[in-house]
Amino acid sequence: MTIRVAIAGGGIAGLCLARGLLQYPQFDVQVYEQVQQHKDKGGALALHANAIGAMVILDPALKQAYFRKANSMLEDDEEEMATQVIMGEGKHTGEVIASLGRAKGRKTVARVDLIAGYQDLVPEEIVHMGKRLERIEEKEDGEVVLAFCDGSMATADCLIGADGIHSVTRQHLLGTNHPAALPVNHEKWYRVGAKLPMEVVEKTLSPEFLGFVPIICGPNGSFNMTPIRYGKVMNIGVFKKAKCDEEIGLVPSPEDFVDYHPDCAKMIELIRSAYNQDQVWAIYDHDHAPFFDKGNVVMIGDAAHATLPFIGNGAAQAIEDGAVLHALFAHVTRKSQISAAFATFDETRRPRALRVVDLSRKAGLIYLYEFDGFWKEEDGVEALKENWKKIGSFTNDVDLATQNKLAVSAFKRIISKEINGADE
């Protein structure tokens, strides 16, 4: 029996999962993506060890595509490197307080390049571009009808909503009036950034913050730098909290950073020199969804748990989602088992993914020195580093094989009960 799987959203989560599910003969997988073509909106990612591990579980080709498209900061793929969180202001300026996402063969990549790499791994005929999902209808027999903005429709035996932070699937599952249905920006976060030629950056900044991914902290904003395009371009951003809505998007002045490491004011000058409205973003996440699935519909990735970017793990969580669904779907051979697979996915993934949402919120504030119980100056900087280790370890040191094994055992328990129950 062929089981028809519709994936809404051909981004990171959707394409990784599609590639993984293609390995199973029982599925007919179709991906519906709203854009005609993915454009470079300036997003740059560093994928941490948990993301790379999840890619390997889904299909090692995904890791190879990432490695092929990414900028390498190390000559040897076996060498390890991490994002370094550095104090940029105050008496501990220059102190590295955390290492996030330590991984072999440390890479950074423009989102658009990563998606192009993944798209090459999925047959063109199953990725339907320009199909913006507008409405979902669930039939009594479990069939799902997808209605697109162009008036066309598709039917499937299940829908996996990988349709990003503004997810239609999420609104369908939670209901449009649910308080967690839409993205939120409680703290009025925004990011002002620029993509600059690497030679300009190298001439302007000291080598201290180059050659890796630094996050430089301080009370007026935190900076990060991500080399992309095989090291030819540097993506520089400053993250700030606005005091009121009108302030969201205001480009900061170098004077705001006179108490910081001298390179920070220079980064602001660089950003101002290459100012482009497209590089100014308000930053949103989701309040917790009480569930990720209902019947034969599930949401994954940013659709389910959009997270602030501060610990660099949103895409990683999206790929982890794919890895768990991939493990579960290996055992789905009948349409009647889909809802149990989705329920098990929810049980396995929701606590971890939502914890990442919470940790990211916390991290953004810590970068602004709003420690609020996380650390006190009198405890010393070593205590701060110890606290950070727990956050870094939670995301990076996950045992994905065990996560999958537990999920599969739970799923098998449910379906064996159903089979035995049906026999009785």
> Closest Cα partner for 364 from 212, 245, 190?
190
Residues 2-13 as b/e (b if ≥16 CB within 10 A, e otherwise) read ebbbbbbbbbbb
174 vs 340 by CB, closer to ligand FAD: 174
Phi, psi of 150 (to 5 degrees): -85, 5
Place of tokens 């990725």: 127
Shortest Å, Cβ 420 to ligand FAD: 37
Shortest Å, Cβ 94 to ligand FAD: 23
**Distance, CA of 186 to chain centre:** 19
Shortest Å, Cβ 273 to ligand FAD: 20
Q: How many Cβ atoms from other residues are within 10 Å of residue 153's Cβ?
A: 10
**Spatial separation of the C-alpha atoms in residues 64 and 67, rounded to whole Å:** 5
Shortest Å, Cβ 166 to ligand FAD: 6
Contact criterion met (CB below 8 Å) for 223 and 252: no
Radius of gyration from C-alpha coordinates of the chain: 22
Q: Residue 123 corresponds to which amino acid?
A: P
Angle subtended at Cα 256 by Cα 251 and Cα 259, rounded to the nearest 5 degrees: 145
Place of tokens 């019947």: 295
**Active site (catalytic) residues:** 191
Structure tokens belonging to residue 195: 């993509």
**Spatial separation of the C-alpha atoms in residues 6 and 205, rounded to whole Å:** 48
Residue least distant from ligand FAD (Cβ): 11
Which 8-state DSSP code applies to residue 260? B
Q: Residue 228 corresponds to which amino acid?
A: I
164 vs 375 by CB, closer to ligand FAD: 164
Instruction: Note the residues at the interface with ligand FAD (CB under 6 A).
Output: 8-14, 32-35, 43, 45-47, 51, 111, 132-133, 162-164, 166, 168, 191, 301-303, 309, 312-316, 318
Shortest Å, Cβ 149 to ligand FAD: 8
Shortest Å, Cβ 349 to ligand FAD: 13
261 vs 286 by CB, closer to ligand FAD: 286
35 vs 419 by CB, closer to ligand FAD: 35
Alpha-helical segments (H) within 41-167? 49-58, 60-69, 111-119
Which class for 402: exposed (0-12), middle (13-18), buried (19 or more C-beta within 10 A)?
exposed
Contact criterion met (CB below 8 Å) for 386 and 376: no
Structure tokens belonging to residue 243: 């005091």
Helix axes 49-58, 60-69, angle to 10 degrees: 130
32 vs 257 by CB, closer to ligand FAD: 32
6 vs 341 by CB, closer to ligand FAD: 6
**Spatial separation of the C-alpha atoms in residues 138 and 259, rounded to whole Å:** 57
Place of tokens 């914890």: 355
45 vs 415 by CB, closer to ligand FAD: 45
Place of tokens 């890796």: 212
17 vs 87 by CB, closer to ligand FAD: 17
Shortest Å, Cβ 378 to ligand FAD: 33
Query: Which residues are within 8 A (CB) of 380 and not within 5 positions of it... i.e. 6 or more apart?
Result: none
